[in-house]
Structure 1
Amino acid sequence: MTASRPQVAWILEELTTIGNARHALLLSADGLTVAASEGCPRDLADRVAASVSGLQSLSRAGGEFVTDEGTIWQQTMVQYRDGFLFLIAAGDGAHLVVSAGRDVKIEALSYKMADIVKRLPEALAVAAREHSQPGMRAPRRGSDRLVRTFVVTGGRRLPSRNTFDHILLISLSPSAVHLSRGDLNHEHNAILDILAHSAQSVAELSALLRLPLSVIRILLADLMDSGHITTGRSILDAPENVPDRETMEAVLAGLRRL
């Protein structure tokens, strides 16, 4: 995977010339991969972008723990058994991420990252803004769309109601076709599109949308509050999901032989 802008490509390659440096990424403020160094797979870059996006947000929140007045976050380093991950603010609303082996010279790599940000803030900032120009849309989930989960939920950690067991069946409400979707986000609409074809359990929606159950429950609570969905019985209560007597006896016989 390479950058869409030549100046970004050489910036990232310059970072990987440091001894034991592995991959380098440029990320936009909304958690999207803008560019990656040569040899870094796209799916890996996007997974790291999602996790690092949350990491920098948590790092910023820790500023009040450093000083009474709070302070500006600049860099985060995470140490693993076999290496390091470096994250630094870069340009206008962008972040640089570099991974390296355990024998990397930490000071040298940190200095190089800071030096590049200092020398080339405009190049990094322009590249980061390419994903957020008016009229442009990020790719959807399933085609490399990466959105931080706390952005999807608007920063909420709990649903407005605690009624969505993972095996509960969800379906569209009779009035859903007449209700506006204007205030719904992409994930809300994705859920409704799936339910338009058939009812799904909470767990199935989580798997289909590749979102954590906790996030799905918050989104479902929103849709319940807006009247777009209704809940039914558990999938275990559906007659077609209840095994017949012969099957149950066969399973019981097998358990007795263990």
Structure 2
Amino acid sequence: MLNKVPEITAFFWVIKILCTTIGESAADYVNVTLGVGLIATTLITAVLLVVALVVQFRLDRYVPSVYWTVVALVSVVGTLITDNLTDNLGVSLWISTGVFLVLLLLTFGVWYRTERTLSIHSIVTTRREAFYWLVVVVTFALGTAAGDLLIDQLQTGLLAAVLIYAAAIAVVFVAYRFGLGATLSFWIAYVLTRPLGGSLGDFLSGDRSEGGAGLGTLLTSLLFLAAIVATVVYLSVTRVDRTERVAVRR
């Protein structure tokens, strides 16, 4: 099995933010605009995610179209997990943020204790891939809770939330350049890109009366879906994010 995760390039972060943004806007569109309902939307997207994961696990290498389909679906499901806890079960965003943070740290702990590495450049076994996707799901749920907490509970404006999380990621990048470990830097940035993308989705789709851009959830979802498809096609053709290609060059 070759490494199942793409090389971390600028394209990785661009498409990650695109996926997180569409996760927020698509979940809102299906749940609210179409009136499907929170529970039904969660069940439908969860089934789609399971199917995509089955395909992903059956592969022996990284395939951009499959990998990023899983990420996009995880983004939607992660958003809905937090929304269900908040809207249907009345769980405080403070509590859900804390619980998901603890769960993430525990998952990292078990992953490291079992595999002795948290590097995404070593996802070459089924067990490591299972740990990887479990962490990804938790990061999306955590990012959703943290993003909603900042906007809803702390009364932060939509655009202000985008700028705050963008600044936080910039700080992580600077810290990485000054010696913060690559693995730690990656996972901190990975968590932060979820509320960044979610806040961006809320800003673009939100009504202008609420400080948003007024594009609506459907138009926002379609625009970002088109950008995702275009980027995935580019990566599939150029293969610039294939780790096995990097290994050959070295």
TM-score scaled to structure 2, two decimals? 0.29
Which has more strand, going by share of residues?
A: 1
